[in-house]
Structures are given as C-alpha cells and as structure tokens.
C-alpha cells in the first residue's frame, strides 16, 4: 500500500492543522449551522456556501491573514483524506517588518467542544506561526464573559496584558475585550 503524505502542516496526537480550501465549504458551513448555540453571541462563522466563499477567499488570498482548520485525525472527513473539521484558528492583521505579529481568532464546532482538540490545534498553530511563519508575537482579543475562549488562551500559554473598552463591533454593539498575548521567546523558553 503506497504511503499518502499528509496534507497537514503540523500534527499532534489527535489533530492536524491545514489551510482552508474552497472545497471545505459544505462541511464547514454544516458544522457552523450545528454550532450556532455554542458560538452565539461570541462569533458568527459563515453558514452558507456564499458566505464561506467570501470568508475563505480572504484567508486564502490576503497575505495579512492565514486560516487554519483543526482536523481530527483518523475520523474519515471529506473524501476520507482528512478527519472531521473540529474547529478553526485564524491569524488576522499579520504585520511584517519590526512588528512580526498577528491577532488570533478561533472557534470550536459543537461536536468537538470540550474534548481538548482545540487546545491541541491552537498549540500547533502557535508553533507554526513562530516557526515557518517567522512571527514574533500573537494576540487574542476576547470578550470578558467568554469563559471557554479565555480558558483556551490561558491553557495555550497566553498571558493577560490588558483590557480594551468597546474594542470590537460584535453582535450589533461595540464590545469590551481582554487582550491576551504570547511571544516566540515564551514558547521556545517555556
């Protein structure tokens, strides 16, 4: 039986990460629709093919963004090539030069919530960002009431740096956010 190379950029014991593709639309949008109660009022991933195409095109084509799907290993997802999509981690506002940073956004899908898959996937994305992407700093901005997202940031080694009142427009209003960050030195020395 010939060896089929993994399409994952990085793998852990239970998940791998890979870039978004346009072919992921059906599974991603179905998972988003199944997860509306989990996501509301924190985030609103695309739940239709048209919305997914617009969303994915930004992550695929814009050099200031990088999108990663967290896929379960060995669960027979799309065409049996990858496992089921457990969630996503996006690096937005990537700045090169002297800053070398990006802002993370992420979400788990309902079938994967509470299983530790996103913790593993976020760790893989952080190592990829500080390795092949050569970034120096990552930041997560999270609403203070989003306990699950704060727990994930903390578990991944991010440290609370501050509070920004009315920082982002989410669900029809300007929302306060906590700023969590990590640097490459933290990951390599810790």
Residue 162 lies in a domain: yes
How far apart, in Å, are the Cα atoms of 13 and each of 55, 64, 124, 153, 157?
A: 29, 29, 11, 20, 19
Residue range(s) defining the domain that contains residue 136: 10-186
pLDDT at 75: 56
Residue 27 lies in a domain: yes
Q: Judge whether 60 and 44 are in contact, CB under 8 Å.
A: no
Residue 3 lies in a domain: no
Please determine, for residue 52, whether its predicted confidence score (pLDDT) is greater than 60.
yes
Residue 5 lies in a domain: no
Q: Is the bond preceding 114 in cis, omega lying within 30 degrees of 0?
A: no
Structure letter (DSSP) for residue 97: T
Q: Judge whether 65 and 34 are in contact, CB under 8 Å.
A: no
CATH of the domain at 140: 3.40.630.30
Q: How confident is the model at residue 185 (pLDDT cuts 50, 70, 90)?
A: very high
Q: Quote the number of domains for the chain.
A: 1
pLDDT at 77: 47
What proportions of the chain, in percent to the nearest 5, are helix, strand and coil? 35, 35, 35
| Number of neighbours of residue 70 by Cβ within 10 angstroms | 30
- pLDDT over 90, % of the chain: 86
Residue 136 lies in a domain: yes
What does the pLDDT average to over 40-45?
Answer: 93
What does the pLDDT average to over 140-155?
Answer: 96
pLDDT at 76: 53
pLDDT at 123: 97
Laid out side by side, the sheet with 10-11 consists of 10-11, 15-19, 66-72, 85-95, 101-108, 137-142, 173-183, 159-170
Residue 2 lies in a domain: no
What pairing do the DSSP bridges indicate for beta strands 101-108 and 15-19?
unpaired
Please determine, for residue 126, whether its predicted confidence score (pLDDT) is greater than 60.
yes
Per residue in 62-108, pLDDT (tens digit) is: 999 999 999 999 755 444 445 899 999 999 999 999 999 999 999 99
Predicted TM-score (pTM) of this structure: 0.90
pLDDT at 4: 40
């Amino acid at each position: 039986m010939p060896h089929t190379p993994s399409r994952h950029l990085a793998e852990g014991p239970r998940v791998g990460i890979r870039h978004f593709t346009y072919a992921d639309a059906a599974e991603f949008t179905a998972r988003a629709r199944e997860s509306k109660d989990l996501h509301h009022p924190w985030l609103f991933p695309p739940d239709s093919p048209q919305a997914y195409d617009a969303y994915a095109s930004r992550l695929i084509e814009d050099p200031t963004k990088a999108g990663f799907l967290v896929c379960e290993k060995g669960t027979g997802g799309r065409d049996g090539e990858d496992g089921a999509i457990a969630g996503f981690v996006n690096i937005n506002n990537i700045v090169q030069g002297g800053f070398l940073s990006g802002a993370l956004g992420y979400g788990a899908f309902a079938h994967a919530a509470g299983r530790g898959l996103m913790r593993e996937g976020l760790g893989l994305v952080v190592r990829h960002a500080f390795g092949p992407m050569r970034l120096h700093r990552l930041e997560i901005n999270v609403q203070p009431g989003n306990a699950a997202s704060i727990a994930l940031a903390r578990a991944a080694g991010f440290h609370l740096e501050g509070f920004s009142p009315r920082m982002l427009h989410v669900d029809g209003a300007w929302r306060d956010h906590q700023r969590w960050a990590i640097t490459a030195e933290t990951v390599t020395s810790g």
